[in-house]
Structure 1
């Protein structure tokens, strides 16, 4: 699009050339962007305590036992793992091992990943569209509310997002010179994305593959061969750990949490794969046309359908720039329709636009478990599409057609920001009117056309940026200022993390000051056992000891079985059984174990909880 439009710039019109050497301002601007991003993501970081206690407890276990670190075990005694592959835990646990286990070392790696994501997005967009577009893309990602949420929180999504951007960077490098090596690097990044959050990482593959197939400057046969090599890289970088888990004797490693047959591959295809999309294989129906169990539940995505990304669940998280991105993508592909097959701008739009469309559609129509924070993996693509298309249209503003599309992008951003802000009408009530008024005036001026006056051009450009970014920035800053905890954190001024499930760093569900003190004094392999991993995680964080979460996250994992639990008790390896938590679903043994404990041991009360001494 840059090539298609820049050649038509009118005499006297201010023109920005993406090919010219960057000015002296670029490097300070980039450092300023990264510094501001770091300030936003590290600001008030430890207010969230341990964030998601489920993953924080797994990090603690990894600092206490090497096998727990390798497999992502919830407890250092290695009964069972968390219900995700362990790549994100590898990184966080390494940080905690180096600097000690604390709230900061649990959350800081994600903040660093956020800064790295912004920087890498800048580098990727700069290769095709220049430093101005790259700075806009990086800034747009940094102030997306769901990014300000998840880069300050210890879910796997932060690492997944960084790896997806790395895959896009490598794909763009591969397209430039038809490089099979860079394309293989992209495949490796996606493979490790699979080891972070399984099949969600694969949503970008159609876009990457299509862009390379269309734009790489070599023959179709070579392009196809290179794509096959990249596919091999995906399989190898993801498959080595799957093979390791399958080859490792099952009786000397933890049970794979969330799976039905103690298999990481089954977990990927079932509970964390097709079950999430279709609501089967362990996934819970939460959103289909009938509403499922979460048709109106913001934490579970709300109703599925084409408008889900704009609804109450996902809208405030990620959709601020989505209308502009959709308009910009259409404009970009239209204006580059006659460009050479190797056109850089079109290739970039295929990479980022394909990522945006495929991910949005899958998230929109998922019938299984889906949470709003998943959208952080969508944020880089939206930011890149808006930046690339917006700056390219701005360069062609001497002509009516680019001005029409650009004014539509600005007006759509203003109107949609007004709607999103109006959903929280009591929070900064004047802001929505400021954004709407500024946006509509700016869109009108852009549509009418600007005289070739550099100062006036700068004023209108600034107004356009403010229109696009003011609402999402305010939401992101408010999100960053709040503490978040539980398993379903939410961004925004009203909800924050308060609608999340689970607890934060202090005396959480399944734990109390008295209970923490009691378990901290134990010397057995496991201080206690309780129903479900979430309750066990809270007890582990309160005591610093290993606790068995019977039945895993859902309470349905057959780990440990009653016979296994009885053997551990007979060996004197478990001190207490703590009643409470959820569990006992089909296939789980927590109810059976609880009944056996109640029938054979005396109960006492610690705090407000019933406890059995098993020694």
Structure 2
């Protein structure tokens, strides 16, 4: 894997020029890297698994998990009860690992929570690999530490909520896209589509929020001819759509008397569950949009929305500690790399993670309500931008000149923001 150059071509943290190294050849790890990664993963495992026997099992999802562990019919369709009379109000994909764990170990609280802790640790490990390939070992270490200790991440990885699986699969998709951009090969792009499709099985349309960003990054930065880029993108999109809609198609094609009734719908149609109750109704005052059941809005929170939702007194302390640093990193990197070739991999990474952050922030802001744990999907983007940004600023600091002031300025900004966010007089509502 090539070490990616920065605006300054020097530095001891992985961000320096090595023009003769092949783009797909792994960089030999430094002596400290593996022990550091092992330590972070160990801390993540301990943090996410601590008190697992008393984990926050969602009563609604917990009932479905137990039913799914006792019946193959309930398992596949996400049956809320063992008789399979009605499904969850979500797709069952996120809860399949939980049901398997309960089937193996028995109906224990820790058995239901175990897959989420594992998913959390895998996400940390995957992010390390992705950020290291993009911005070097120093950035990767900072990114994994940031992700591990993000409060919403630590809390969610001990609960039976689908966002842990969603986050893991989308991070895997980002890694595949990064490889496709770096190498220009088709297989990683197809793999990216598969990962996004599987993420759709965990939390439906939210998995597709990254697609505009992925399309932009691929089309702007991959080293292929325009027509070839377009053809490959269409093929990957077809794979994404096929994997995404596979369960809904099977459920739709199954006779109604041979499967549970689809919850949260007025027409027993799985596509109404996906695009109505869990789709359009979240951005509309019409509770019955696309076949959703009436009074949908009454079943979910109507708070944590608007343009200040990421930094309000409820959500901010869970996710926003490094948000200003992440935004500063994106803006600075794009300015500093503006004259680099179209295929510049460092700029592509900042576009990828910055776009991920921006799209989710906009969608959450305009929806009709969000639980704080929805923001867990932002944690990998903020963590990657924190690591990549600090590595970029450190490289500029070592190179000297006026840009060396960016590192201490970024640190001062982050400390000041943390003090403000932790202040009891924080006023954003």
Same fold by TM-score, threshold 0.5 exceeded? yes
- Give the one of 13, 24, 30 matched to 1:16: 13
Match of 1:396 in 2: 396
Q: Which runs of 4+ in 1 moved over 4 A?
A: none
Deviations 1:72-112 (A, max 9, x none): 11101111111100001111111111222210110010000
Q: C-alpha distance in 1, partners of 2:257/2:251?
A: 12
Q: What's the counterpart of residue 359 of structure 1?
A: 360
**Matched residues in 1 for 2:343 and 2:200: separation?**
30
Rg: which structure is higher? 1
Mapped pair 1:139 → 2:145: yes
Shift of 1:212: 0.9
Alignment of 1:440-451 (within 5 A): none
Partner of 1:383: 383
Matched, 1:244 2:250: yes
Matched residues in 2 for 1:266 and 1:406: separation?
Answer: 50
Q: d(CA) in 1 for partners of 2:262 and 2:404? A: 55
In structure 1, C-alpha distance between the alignment counterparts of 2:285 and 2:236, rounded to whole Å? 30
CA shift, 1:404, in A, is: 3.8
Q: Does structure 1 conserve the Cα–Cα contact (< 8 Å) formed by 2:14 and 2:135?
A: no
Report the Cα offset of residue 406 of structure 1: 2.9
Q: CA deviation at 1:402?
A: 3.2
What is the aligned partner in structure 2 of residue 370 from structure 1? 370
In the other structure, the counterpart of 1:40 is: 47
Secondary structure in 1 matching 2:200: helix
- Structure 1 residue runs of 5 or longer lacking an equivalent are 284-291, 426-615
Establish whether residue 87 from structure 1 lines up as the match of residue 87 from structure 2: no
Structure ranking higher on relative contact order (CA contacts 8 Å, 6+ apart)? 2
1:206 aligns with 2:212: yes
Structure 1 range deviating more: 327-336 or 173-182: 173-182
Equivalent in the alignment of 1:3: 5
Query: Counterpart of 2:67?
Result: 61
Contact 1:59–1:93 (Cα < 8 Å) also in 2: yes
The TM-score normalised by the length of structure 1 is 0.63
Residues 329-387 of structure 1 deviation map (CA, whole Å, 9 limit, x = unaligned): 100111111111111111111111110100011111212x4211000011100110111
* 1:410 Cα deviation after fit: 1.7
TM-superposed deviation, 1:131: 1.3
RMSD: 2.1
Cα distance in structure 2, aligned partners of 1:293 and 1:272:
14
Cα distance, 1:405 vs. partner? 3.4
Hey, what does 1:220 align to over in structure 2? 226
Question: Residue 332 of structure 2: SS of its match in structure 1?
Answer: helix
Query: For the Cα contact (< 8 Å) 1:301–1:313, is it kept in 2?
Result: no
Q: Give the aligned partner of residue 430 of structure 1.
A: none
Residues 188-235 of structure 1 show CA distances to partners (whole Å, capped at 9, x for unaligned) of 111111111110111111111111111111111111111111111111
In the alignment of these two chains, the number of paired residues is 406
CA distances 1:538-582 after superposition (whole Å, capped 9, x unpaired): xxxxxxxxxxxxxxxxxxxxxxxxxxxxxxxxxxxxxxxxxxxxx
Contact in 2 for aligned 1:61/1:75 (Cα 8 Å):
yes
Quote how far apart the aligned CAs of 1:314 are.
1.5
Aligned-pair CA distance for 1:271: 1.2
CA contact (8 A) 1:62 1:73 kept: yes
Measure the CA separation in 1 of the matches of 2:46 and 2:52. 10
Q: Deviations over 1:168-191 (max 9, x none)?
A: 011011111112211111111111
Distance 1:218 1:148 in 2: 40
Q: 1:401 to 1:244 in 2, by over 3 A?
A: farther
The yes-or-no answer on 1:31 pairing with 2:38 is yes
Q: Deviations over 1:442-498 (max 9, x none)?
A: xxxxxxxxxxxxxxxxxxxxxxxxxxxxxxxxxxxxxxxxxxxxxxxxxxxxxxxxx
Secondary structure of the structure 1 residue equivalent to 2:279: helix
1:264 aligns with 2:270: yes
Matches within 5 A, 1:510-521: none
Q: Given the superposition, is the C-alpha separation of residues 371 and 401 from structure 1 closer, same or farther in structure 2, using an over 3 Å criterion?
A: farther
CA contact (8 A) 1:164 1:190 kept: yes
Describe the shift of the 1:275–1:401 C-alpha distance in structure 2 as closer, same or farther (beyond 3 A).
farther
1:167 deviation in Å?
0.6
In 2, Cα distance between equivalents of 1:15 and 1:142 = 25
